[in-house]
Amino acid sequence: MREYWSCSKVADRIRGTIKPDALELGKWNDWEEYARATHPIRYWIVEEAFDAVQNFINWPATQINDVRYWLNNRFVARTHALTSSSLKPGQYHELDTRILHCVFDELVNFVEVEKAWMQVCFSDEDVRKKYSLPFWRKQWWTRWFMTWRCAQAGIDHLLWEISLTNNEYLEETNPEYGKPTHQALRAQEVLDLYRWWTVVRPARPDPYEASGWTAYCEASRAATGGKLHFSGGKDSPELKKLCKATHAKLDKIDAAYEKEDDEKLIQLIKIRKSLWT
């Protein structure tokens, strides 16, 4: 990862204003206007001249890095594709199923890979030790061939984002002072959707069990010598009644699950502009 001269402590002293480690996208414009107005010449030296000289010196390394990035994006991270880790390879899956699983599995990758790396790449060694960062993730020549995944690191980064408030550039009299930032609100939605997909949804009761349909099928087979007739002539009146009731309940549960899936998918699509690192 390139370390920009304009983000160093020396640059802060020359510029006369300290550059924050992280801000919301819109807040960077406010900081730039403030820093430029406070020391215009010193700001130009750091933010313009420093970058120009550094770009010239680093031009050969930049070309090599471009090739490395392309290889990683093409064959390792595969950032051109939506992939699913929850669907079994070799089996046919309808398009509606692929859409749901691919999108949410990529959300899992976003949290457990991209957000996880954001949690450690700007942290000190003590924080990195907390997540047992593997040796190959610390070396530039190996990190391009493997993906480091850590759910807890991704969650911790989201929790840090959720804690952000509108305090740094607002007066206490401002009605927005102390309230969560836009970034914090979006991070909360990402975390909620991630937990829904990885914890809540997998724990939903099996509709066949919850509706009693499985119990009906077993009872029907037992009463008809192992054959399932689905309220056919060999079913008793009691079994026919049970079949109708459990099938209606099964349809109701399936509809509720599909409705929940649709709502969560729509929610994810609505915040897709915030899914970047």
Note the Cα 175 to chain centre separation in Å: 30
Do 14 and 44 lie in a common domain? yes
* The two structure tokens encoding residue 32: 């730039």
Give the model's confidence band at 170: pLDDT under 50 very low, under 70 low, under 90 confident, else very high. Answer: confident
Quote the CA–CA distance of 111 and 105 in Å, as a whole number: 10
Please state the pTM of the whole predicted model: 0.77
Is the pLDDT at 139 greater than 80? The verdict is no
Higher pLDDT, 199 or 141: 199
Q: Does 74 reside within a domain?
A: no
Contacts of 24 (CB under 8 A, 6+ apart): 164, 181, 182, 183
Out of 178, 203, 228, a domain closes at 203
Domain count, the chain: 3
Higher pLDDT, 15 or 140: 15
Kindly list the distances between the CA atom of residue 40 and the CA atoms of 25, 43, 50, 274, in Å, as whole numbers in the listed order. Answer: 22, 5, 14, 32
Do 211 and 189 lie in a common domain? no
Domain around 109: 81-203
Q: Does 68 reside within a domain?
A: no
Do 142 and 197 lie in a common domain? yes
For residue 149, the SS3 value is coil
By the 8 A CB rule, do 151 and 116 touch? yes
The packing angle between helices 59-71 and 50-57, to 10°, is 70
Quote the CA–CA distance of 108 and 201 in Å, as a whole number: 13
Q: Does 88 reside within a domain?
A: yes
pLDDT, residue 65, reads: 80
Is the pLDDT at 67 greater than 90? The verdict is no
Q: Does 106 reside within a domain?
A: yes
Average pLDDT taken over every residue of the chain: 87
Quote the CA–CA distance of 9 and 123 in Å, as a whole number: 16
Q: What is the mean pLDDT of residues 2-30?
A: 85
What burial class does residue 238 get, using C-beta atoms within 10 Å of its C-beta: 0-12 exposed, 13-18 middle, 19+ buried?
A: exposed
Do 119 and 166 lie in a common domain? yes
Out of 203, 218, 245, a domain closes at 203
Give residue-wise pLDDT tens across range 94-129: 999 999 999 999 999 999 999 999 998 877 778 778
Give the phi and the psi of residue 180 in degrees, each rounded to 5: -60, 145
Kindly list the distances between the CA atom of residue 101 and the CA atoms of 44, 50, 114, 204, 237, in Å, as whole numbers in the listed order. Answer: 48, 45, 19, 16, 41
Do 38 and 93 lie in a common domain? no
